[in-house]
Amino acid sequence: MKTALLTLGLALIPALAIADAGHGNGQMAIGMPAMHGHEPTRTIDVIMREDYDKDAPFVFEPSSEMTFSEGETVRLRITNMGEETHEFVMDSMAQNAEHKELMAKFPEMEHDDPNAVRLEPGEEAEILWTFNKAGNFEFACLLPGHYEGGMHGALTVN
């Protein structure tokens, strides 16, 4: 019996390795956290704030689009200059939509994702990221009402 269990266990090891291929290093659809020693080629300042006089009361600056080159490592310096809590999440549109639904049910949900930060007013944070997969993605604040209030934009990796 012990031999059969050992054989079965050894047979599962390659399958588990394949199932986790690429995820052990933080790989996501949009890329991965910068590896140690990969210096960013540039820094992008991202500001989150409110502008209640506009049709879209929640604002990112830059607001509409960010473009990166495949393989590029960047420093995203994110600052909440608003009076409300905001978050910056970059991912595929489908993943952001799924995450947004969860946030609607659990708005105080804590995050520990390398592609996202939640900041209180006046706080700032950095994300060092390597965009190693070409495609069309999105950056957004997924707190209830913020996305609908204009806090999202296109993120393109060429």
SS3 letters across the chain: CHHHHHHHHHHHHHHHHHHCCCCCCCCECCEEECCCCCCCCEEEEEEEEECCCCCCCEEEECCCEEEECCCEEEEEEEEECCCCCEEEEEECHHHHHHHHHHHHHCCCCCCCCCCEEEECCCCEEEEEEEECCCEEEEEECCCCCCCCCCCEEEEEEC
Query: Which of the residues in the chain have pLDDT under 50?
Result: 1-23
User: Looking at residue 53, what is its pLDDT?
Assistant: 78
User: Looking at residue 20, what is its pLDDT?
Assistant: 35
User: Looking at residue 56, what is its pLDDT?
Assistant: 81
User: Looking at residue 104, what is its pLDDT?
Assistant: 92
User: Looking at residue 125, what is its pLDDT?
Assistant: 97
User: Looking at residue 25, what is its pLDDT?
Assistant: 64
Q: What is the pTM of this model?
A: 0.81
User: Looking at residue 73, what is its pLDDT?
Assistant: 97
Delineate the domains of the chain, giving CATH numbers in brackets: 28-157 (2.60.40.420)
User: Looking at residue 80, what is its pLDDT?
Assistant: 98
